[in-house]
């Protein structure tokens, strides 16, 4: 009798459903594609397929001059263009032995931290959107719009800034702009509380995120997860503090880490809340910088035909999506010999395959959003 039952069970043909999620899908943040194998709602695996936005930024680096490459770095991660500027310029300066002016350094930090706020606003906004809450997204974008206005004042562009140049910054920050930035910070700090009341402590939101796809410390090291995603795993590591650059050592700020307060350490909720807390820290940093802003020139004198001596350097910058590395090789000519951009999203993306097993389709969306991957940054 058992045998007849079994044969009947075997006769019932079942198979996993293979779905192609993307490249046109509302919540793949740019042009990404996942090949998902599901058993109903539960996923067997989700294999990321990247490369749709490859613009060969690294190859372009070998074709343009040192100064001329700065605008291209903007395009590596359009949500946080300032950090790519910063990374490349730092690499060029260290290779060429250029001293950045002190005012230039402060201008850089102000611009970077404002950019970090803007980038994190997009991250948490789209996160909420992917979880199904529509209002927080618009609220976040509304604030980001103000940041963009400030950026426009500072450097004349709203998205791809080309503000940080080799030796300093392109334009000085005026006192009026400083006032306006203070005005924005006064406005923005309470907004974070409002955002928390609206979204962060919402019961449904917590239920959706807590215990979902936790990243262990070991996985984080193995897959080289960086930035807020790493800090969400409870690792207190921030390039700004641990491999200090620019004027960050002089500034006081906390490094928020995930505590697993609502679920497991390193789950989606931790990754979310770390970003919320980082926005507050960025506000603090900008306030300090505005107070300490010294007088002097904003940019050092750098030769038009910038030719750093032969050599190579690997520079790390703490971008909103984590440790952004610039490996720049010079052969002493007017053009970089090789520029390599190592981004946080790329490594985060390689972890998705492992994390996604056994999750539900809706959880995959939360996972992608919580890692804050950004398609142009993956593909470069």
Question: Which residue in 244, 218, 220, 248 sits closest to 232, CA to CA?
Answer: 220
Which residue bears the tokens 């899908």? Answer: 25
Cβ 176 to another protein shortest distance, Å: 6
**CB-wise, 99 or 292, nearer to another protein?**
99
Judged by CB under 8 A, does residue 27 bind another protein? yes
Site for another protein in 305-344 (CB under 8 A): 311-314, 316, 323, 325, 327, 329, 335, 337-338, 340, 342
Binding mask 54-73 for another protein (x = CB under 8 A): x-x-xx--xxx---------
CB crowding 25-53: b at 16 or more within 10 Å, else e: eebbbbbbbbebbbeeeebebbebebebb
Cβ 337 to another protein shortest distance, Å: 8
**CB-wise, 17 or 159, nearer to another protein?**
17
Binding mask 358-377 for another protein (x = CB under 8 A): --xxxx-x------------
Cβ 275 to another protein shortest distance, Å: 17
Size of the site for another protein (CB under 8 A): 85
Site for another protein in 203-262 (CB under 8 A): 204-205, 207-208, 221-224, 235, 237, 242-243
Which residue bears the tokens 């505590």? Answer: 259
Q: Would you say 336 and 218 are in contact if contact means Cβ atoms under 8 Å apart?
A: no
Alpha carbon distance 19, 37 (integer Å): 6
Residues 6+ apart with CB under 8 A from 235: 217, 220, 257
Q: Tell me the sheet residues that pair with 45.
A: 37
Site for another protein in 77-96 (CB under 8 A): 94
Q: Would you say 306 and 96 are in contact if contact means Cβ atoms under 8 Å apart?
A: yes
Task: Give the one residue of 153, 171, 265, 307 binding another protein; rule: CB under 8 A.
Answer: 153
**CB-wise, 188 or 306, nearer to another protein?**
188
Judged by CB under 8 A, does residue 276 bind another protein? no
DSSP label at residue 248: G
């Amino acid at each position: 009798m058992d045998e007849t039952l079994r044969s009947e069970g075997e006769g019932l043909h079942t198979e996993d459903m293979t779905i192609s999620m993307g490249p046109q899908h509302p919540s793949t943040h740019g042009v990404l594609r996942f090949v998902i194998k599901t058993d109903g709602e539960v996923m067997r695996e989700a294999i990321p397929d990247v490369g749709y936005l490859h613009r060969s930024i690294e190859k372009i680096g070998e074709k343009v001059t040192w100064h001329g490459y700065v605008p291209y770095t903007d395009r590596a991660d359009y949500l946080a263009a300032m950090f790519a500027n910063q990374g490349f310029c730092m690499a060029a300066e260290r290779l060429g032995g250029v001293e950045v002016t002190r005012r230039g350094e402060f201008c850089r930090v102000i611009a970077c931290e404002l950019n970090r706020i803007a980038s994190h606003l997009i991250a948490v906004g789209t996160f909420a959107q992917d979880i199904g809450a529509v209002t927080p997204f618009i609220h976040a974008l509304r604030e980001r719009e103000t940041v963009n206005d400030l950026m426009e004042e500072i450097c004349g562009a709203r998205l791809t800034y080309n503000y940080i140049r080799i030796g300093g910054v392109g334009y000085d920050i005026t006192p009026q702009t400083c006032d306006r930035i203070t005005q924005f910070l006064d406005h923005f700090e309470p907004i974070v509380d409002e955002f928390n009341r609206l979204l962060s402590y919402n019961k449904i939101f917590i239920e959706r995120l807590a215990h979902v796809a936790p990243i262990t410390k070991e996985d984080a090291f193995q897959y080289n997860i960086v930035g807020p995603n790493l800090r969400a795993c409870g690792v207190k590591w921030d390039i700004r503090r641990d491999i200090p650059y620019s004027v960050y050592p002089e500034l006081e700020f906390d490094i928020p880490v995930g505590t697993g307060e609502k679920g497991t350490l390193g789950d989606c909720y931790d990754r979310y809340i770390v970003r919320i807390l980082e926005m507050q820290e960025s506000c603090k940093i900008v306030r300090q910088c505005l107070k300490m802003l010294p007088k002097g020139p904003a940019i050092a004198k750098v030769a038009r035909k910038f030719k750093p001596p032969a050599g190579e350097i690997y520079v790390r910058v703490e971008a909103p999506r984590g440790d952004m590395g610039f490996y720049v090789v010079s052969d002493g000519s007017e053009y970089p010999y090789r520029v390599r951009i190592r981004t946080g999203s790329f490594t985060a993306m390689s972890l998705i395959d492992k994390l996604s097993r056994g999750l539900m389709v809706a959880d995959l969306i939360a996972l992608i959003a919580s890692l804050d991957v950004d398609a142009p940054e993956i593909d470069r």
